[in-house]
Amino acid sequence: MEDGGRAGRRILVVEDNHDLRDELMTGFVARGFQVTAAGDGALGARAATDDRHDVVLLDLEMPSLDGLRLAQVLSAVAPATRLVIMSGHGYLRTAARDLLGGSVPVLAKPFDLDDLLHLIAAPPLRT
């Protein structure tokens, strides 16, 4: 399949930075994904429980519900959903890896969308 199996795959982007959220949405749509976006953790939790997503990309540091807690909630309520955390803070990335037991990839901002797509396509991490 020419699109790498992406057509119809659903991604939820939970990011409080409006510009980055829009950039990710535009890039994913251009590559054949169905995209839902949320501007904070609480809205992301609602979107994730209202609809099924193949991948949830979440910022680590957000208002109302941070990405780490959201990842823990989603791991419990939607265990088949692929989670990817992103953060611009090295110490937070390390803490997230430690707290989640290495089961959720943590991506450093800024990043290239193609690198993110490669990460999403890779087999899930195992603990």
CATH architecture of 10-113: 3-Layer(aba) Sandwich (3.40)
pLDDT of 102 > 50? The answer is yes
The per-residue pLDDT for 60 is: 85
Q: What does the pLDDT average to over 96-121?
A: 78
> Which of 32-36, 39-43, 71-75, 101-105 is predicted with the least confidence, judged by mean pLDDT?
101-105
If one compares 76 and 20, the residue with the highest pLDDT of the two is 20
**CA distance linking residue 105 with residue 103, whole number of Å:** 7
The band of 15, judged by pLDDT with boundaries at 50, 70 and 90, is: very high
Would you say 85 and 107 are in contact if contact means Cβ atoms under 8 Å apart? yes
pTM of the model: 0.83
